[in-house]
Amino acid sequence: MSPPLHVQIISGSASVALLAMGIRNVVAPGACLSFLPFFGKSEHKLQSYFWGTSNSNELVPGQKALSKLSGWMLVTLAVTKLTTVFSNTNEGTFLRRNLFIALGSIQLLGSIAVTTIGDTQSKAKESVVAGPASFYQIAILLGGEGLVLLHDALMRNRPIKP
């Protein structure tokens, strides 16, 4: 049994955004993803904060390599979530539930941690490279998806198949 439509819409949207970010990190490290309406310039400010420059041509080879590595990890995560959410098979109901618990709880915990624990968010707001940056957009995206995945995993009835 596949997940409900609202789970597919929310998780699918978040995963496509992560997929776009991952592909950008692989193909054009540090570049702006202006076609993502939710992120736009604020996402580029966050990239500028990460890399210390708003000009992607100024990245040193190690930064480009790290961007490509993290990009492939984002692509892997996005494709895993898309496969888990959109595969419609009669087997794997409890595996999907367990994956939703794992992915959802880590995404929720990570989004809370990066915005509230320590000085990560405050240091980003003090950034002078491209202006104040913020983790809130990505935290809302991943934390919201995490909540939806956890809710589906813990609250939806999953009858045992004969």
Give residue-wise pLDDT tens across range 121-162: 888 888 777 678 888 888 898 999 999 999 999 998 877 766
Tokens standing for 23?
């592909």
Decide if 44 is inside a domain.
yes
d(CA 88, CA 75): 21
Report if residue 162 sits inside a domain.
no
Structure-token pair, residue 17: 């955004």
Mean residue pLDDT of the chain comes to 85
pTM of the model: 0.78
Question: For 63-93, b where at least 16 C-beta lie within 10 A, e where not — what string?
Answer: bbebbeebbeebbebbeebbebbeeeeeeeb
pLDDT of the residue at 144: 93
Residue type present at position 156: R
- Residue 150 placed within a domain: yes
Residue 125 lies in a domain: yes
Q: In angstroms, rounded to a whole number, what is the distance separating the alpha carbons of residues 87 and 53?
A: 40
CB 10 within 8 A of CB 145: yes
Q: Is residue 71 part of a domain?
A: yes
Q: Count structural domains, the chain.
A: 1
Domain span at residue 86 reads 5-155
Domain annotation covers residue 39: yes
Residue 97's pLDDT is what?
Answer: 87
Are the beta carbons of 87 and 2 closer than 8 angstroms? Answer: yes
Domain membership of residue 161 (yes or no) is: no
**Is the predicted pLDDT of residue 39 greater than 80, yes or no?**
no
Whether residue 160 lies inside any domain: the answer is no
pLDDT at 130: 67
